[in-house]
Amino acid sequence: MNQTQFDPTVQPVPTSVVEQVDAADTTLSNPHRAVLSLGANLGNRLETLQGAIDALEDTPGVRVKAVSPVYETEPWGVEPGSQPSYFNAVVLLKTTLPPASLLERAHAVEEAFHRVRDERWGPRTLDVDIVAYADVVSDDPTLTLPHPRAHERAFVLAPWHDVEPDARLTGRGTVAELLTALTRDGVAPRGDLELRLPE
């Protein structure tokens, strides 16, 4: 007979606590996939992108599973010629962090690389956007998922397609189809450059 079953000093654990612990266990043992877009158009762009990838990998609860090729891209959404060109790449993650914590970490990594926020779509040392987090859909302006402009950005979709040819953008369709609707003008692979997957 199980002695502890009748031990009067053992208090029953409330159901709500059991549910919370079970939910936390499920999150920890069930990492979610996330797609991040990285961009830089000030400073040493390649070094910064690699630094961001390494900083993401150093985050508890984050594993970088794939790193795309590097693209050199014309600034999107601003007057042509008004800003230096970007280096862009996409990384695929597995993470046990919830979406809000992943965004917090993305902002911390941007700040570590001296990101300044002044004008919208202004030039920046580093931009880290969450393109998608599992199949989460949210219109919260603090964290809109999938990213509200990802489907119209070849600088996001082209590198994503390279590392995940069958990828889908929740609510929008396949990345391959979305890409065919966009021009790739001004989005050029830089085959001479490479970002490393952290060991």
Ligand X SMILES: Nc1ncnc2c1ncn2[C@@H]1O[C@H](COP(=O)(O)OP(=O)(O)OP(=O)(O)O)[C@@H](O)[C@H]1O
Ligand Y SMILES: Nc1nc2c(c(=O)[nH]1)N=C(CO)CN2
Catalytic residue set? 115, 124, 127, 129
> In the complex with ligand X, which residue's Cβ is closer, 50 or 83?
83
Question: Helix, strand, coil shares of the chain as percentages rounded to 5?
Answer: 35, 25, 45
| 155 touches ligand Y by CB under 6 A | yes
Site residues (CB under 6 A) for ligand X, limited to 89-148: 103, 117, 120-121, 127, 129-130, 142-145, 147
| 116 touches ligand Y by CB under 6 A | no
Give the number of residues in contact with ligand Y, rule: CB under 6 A: 12
CB of 12 to ligand Y, least distance (A): 52
Please choose which of ligand X, ligand Y, none residue 120 contacts, taking the beta carbon within 5 to 8 angstroms, the exact cut-off set by kind: ligand X
Q: Are 68 and 39 in contact (CB under 8 A)?
A: no
Measure the CA–CA gap between 30 and 41, rounded to whole angstroms. Answer: 35
Site residues (CB under 6 A) for ligand Y, limited to 40-69: none
| 110 touches ligand Y by CB under 6 A | no
What does the DSSP 8-state code read for residue 194? -
Question: How many alpha carbons fall within 13 Å on the CB side of residue 183?
Answer: 5
Measure the CA–CA gap between 19 and 2, rounded to whole angstroms. Answer: 24
Please choose which of ligand Y, ligand X, none residue 75 contacts, taking the beta carbon within 5 to 8 angstroms, the exact cut-off set by kind: ligand Y
Element spanning 91, H or E: strand 86-95
